[in-house]
Structure 1
Amino acid sequence: MPLATTRRAGLVDQVIEQVRAAVAAGEWPVGTRIPPEGELAVTLGVGRNTVREAVRALAHAGLLEVRQGDGTFVRATSEISGAIRRLAGPELREVLQVRRLLEAEGARLAATHRTAEDLAELDEAMAACEQAEQAADLAAFVRADLAFHQLVLRCAHNGVLAELYRGLTEVVHASVATTVAGGRCESHTGLLAAIRAGEAAAAAAEAEDFLDSLLREHATAGPRGAGATTP
Structure 2
Amino acid sequence: MGLIDQAAARFQEEIASGRWPVGERIPVEAELATAFGVGRNTVREALQSLVHSGLLSREQGRGTFVISSSELSGSLSRQLAGGTRHHYLELRLALDSTAASLAALRRTDADVEQLRRLRDEREAAWATDDPDPDTRAAADLALHRAIVAATHNPLYVELYSSMTDVFARHMRDDESGDDDAAHRHHHDLVEAIAQGDAGRATEVVAAIFEPFMR
Q: Same fold (TM over 0.5)?
A: yes
- Go from structure 1 to structure 2 and tell me whether the alpha carbon gap of 1:145 and 1:184 turns closer, same or farther (over 3 Å shift): farther
- Equivalent AA in structure 1 for residue 164 of structure 2: T
1:191 matched residue in structure 2: 189
Q: For 1:38 and 1:183, locate their aligned partners in 2 and report how far apart those are by CA, in whole Å.
A: 48
2:157 to 157, 162, 180: 162
- Go from structure 1 to structure 2 and tell me whether the alpha carbon gap of 1:14 and 1:154 turns closer, same or farther (over 3 Å shift): closer
Q: CA deviation at 1:46?
A: 9.7
- Go from structure 1 to structure 2 and tell me whether the alpha carbon gap of 1:47 and 1:198 turns closer, same or farther (over 3 Å shift): farther
Q: CA deviation at 1:38?
A: 4.4
Q: 1:41-190 residue pairs with structure 2 within 5 A?
A: 66-67=57-58, 71-72=63-64, 91-135=84-128, 136-174=131-169, 178-180=173-175, 186-187=182-183, 188-190=186-188
1:136-188 CA-to-partner distances (Å, cap 9, x unmatched) read: 121111011111111111111223332322220213335775224x7575321
TM-score (structure 1 length as normaliser): 0.57
Q: For 2:30 and 2:125, locate their aligned partners in 1 and report how far apart those are by CA, in whole Å.
A: 34
Q: For 2:99 and 2:204, locate their aligned partners in 1 and report how far apart those are by CA, in whole Å.
A: 11
Q: For 1:138 and 1:47, locate their aligned partners in 2 and report how far apart those are by CA, in whole Å.
A: 39
- Go from structure 1 to structure 2 and tell me whether the alpha carbon gap of 1:131 and 1:35 turns closer, same or farther (over 3 Å shift): same
Identical aligned pairs, as a percentage? 30
Q: 1:211-222 residue pairs with structure 2 within 5 A?
A: 211-216=209-214
Structure 2 counterpart SS, 1:67: strand
TM-score (structure 2 length as normaliser): 0.61
1:17-58 CA-to-partner distances (Å, cap 9, x unmatched) read: xx98xxxxxxxxxxxx8862544898xx99999xx9xxx9xx
How many residues are paired up? 168
Unaligned segments of structure 1, at least 5 residues: 1-11, 21-32, 74-88, 217-231
Tell me if 1:36 matches 2:36. no
Q: CA deviation at 1:130?
A: 1.6
1:204 matched residue in structure 2: 202
Cα contact 1:104–1:207 (8 A) shared by 2: yes
- Go from structure 1 to structure 2 and tell me whether the alpha carbon gap of 1:108 and 1:15 turns closer, same or farther (over 3 Å shift): closer
Q: For 1:115 and 1:170, locate their aligned partners in 2 and report how far apart those are by CA, in whole Å.
A: 27
Q: CA deviation at 1:191?
A: 0.6
1:221 matched residue in structure 2: none
- Go from structure 1 to structure 2 and tell me whether the alpha carbon gap of 1:172 and 1:148 turns closer, same or farther (over 3 Å shift): farther
RMSD of aligned residue pairs (Cα, Å): 4.2
- Go from structure 1 to structure 2 and tell me whether the alpha carbon gap of 1:69 and 1:131 turns closer, same or farther (over 3 Å shift): same
Q: For 2:58 and 2:167, locate their aligned partners in 1 and report how far apart those are by CA, in whole Å.
A: 23
Unaligned segments of structure 2, at least 5 residues: 1-16, 66-81
Cα contact 1:129–1:145 (8 A) shared by 2: yes
